[in-house]
Structure 1
């Protein structure tokens, strides 16, 4: 029953914001623009849903990727992000944003939108990292294997998927991941930026969410999400050949 009421509450908050936007006679760009920047499998969808439970925050999630793929866009001729997210909104909405992944920066389909964000120094960056890079890698491989990218069901009592790690593939992934982190710290050094760790968001969400809401200039509220952590437990239990690769992890 609790789960049903949480779902209904989420639906009503999101629907109210959609109706406000659709029927508002007063729209502007006076809101705080923001981006959730992260690597896949670092909690960006969880954070996106948390933020959307606030009545004054609108997070568009992966709207950029969804529209570019749906319209088979090979190269952006203009920053698509502006018409999809950073457009006029109802004045009741105080913070508007979306998700961007590291990999978009080097993809021609997203280059104009990514550079648009880099050049707009007023865009606030929620820089979401996951400290445990191995867990990022394992979570990504499990999602690719199962084709389950998010879930509202607890995984506590579910059978745990397992994978074998390719040593060289993981080393390459880790090096690329760290390169991206260094790159974006440099590219976004002039932006207002708040670094958030996935581990902190999962273990003690409300203090982390309060700091994010303050960063976005809205009155902090207790936020909620229906999503559950998909791969709880030790990373060793998810790797079938852990003994062969433990020296690199």
Structure 2
């Protein structure tokens, strides 16, 4: 099965489409549906590609980032359609605020009502790190890095924030995380932290595959950490911000 999936997911797009479509025609829908619920810059690409490397998982990206006039039900039915029989779990990434181009037309509610849906709630303990990473990625338009030599030096990534930006970013994210826990609270849910995923990806992956009812397979990690430097090297006015938030309820994010 692993070899078969590897052949299907070769770099040749024609092989991917034709091979997968052919096997899906005689495929099934008796797999575990799942979503990776999160926000940007939490390691969602790292997790998504690790899942995709499993021989029994089909893991898509941000299929609801923009609807572009499409009916979300058509998109959802396409992802949760027939898949080859060796695929036993099918899912995708969903950020709290998707889609960007219209107000949520009912995507989350439809998912809440979907039977057997499993939710991997991916969080990052240091939300400030997510905010820094997102600003750097937006400024440089680099969201994924696969080679160490392509990691930008700190001086090319430096950003700055106002205290108001920091407070708004962290509070909004905390609110979104809480809403996600509440909305999907009745679904099977596994909380995964980015920091734990990086520290011991094999242990976390064992938890995830067990959660999805699958045998463990060592994940293949193909992405490189884009911002390994201390926050003080990435944020121009870090010391100023740290002093501003001293004694504040958000002080611990600067530690």
Q: Quick check: TM above 0.5?
A: yes
Which of the residues 82, 88, 101 maps onto 1:94?
88
Q: How does 1:1-249 map to 2 (within 5 A)?
A: 12=7, 14-15=9-10, 21-24=20-23, 25-65=25-65, 68=67, 72-73=68-69, 77=71, 79-104=73-98, 108=102, 110-154=104-148, 158-160=152-154, 161-246=157-242, 247-248=244-245, 249=254
Root-mean-square deviation (CA, aligned residues, Å) is 2.5
Deviation at 1:112, TM superposition (A): 2.4
Distance 2:101 2:113 in 1: 17
Distance (Å, rounded) in 2 between the aligned partners of 1:154 and 1:78: 37
The number of equivalent residue pairs is: 235
Relative to the length of structure 2, the TM-score reads: 0.84
More moved, 139-148 vs 85-94: 85-94
Q: 1:22-68, CA deviations, whole angstroms, 9 ceiling, x for partnerless residues?
A: 112422210000000111000111111001111110001123326x2
Question: Structure 2: how far apart are the matches of 1:195 and 1:92?
Answer: 26
Quickly say closer, same or farther: Cα 1:158–1:65, change in 2 above 3 A.
closer
Give me the TM-score of the superposition, normalised by structure 1.
0.86
Mark the runs of 5 or more structure 2 residues left unpaired by the alignment.
246-253
Change (3 A) 1:45 1:157: closer
Give the distance between the partners of 1:219 and 1:145, measured in 2 at CA: 40
Question: What is the deviation of 1:210?
Answer: 1.1
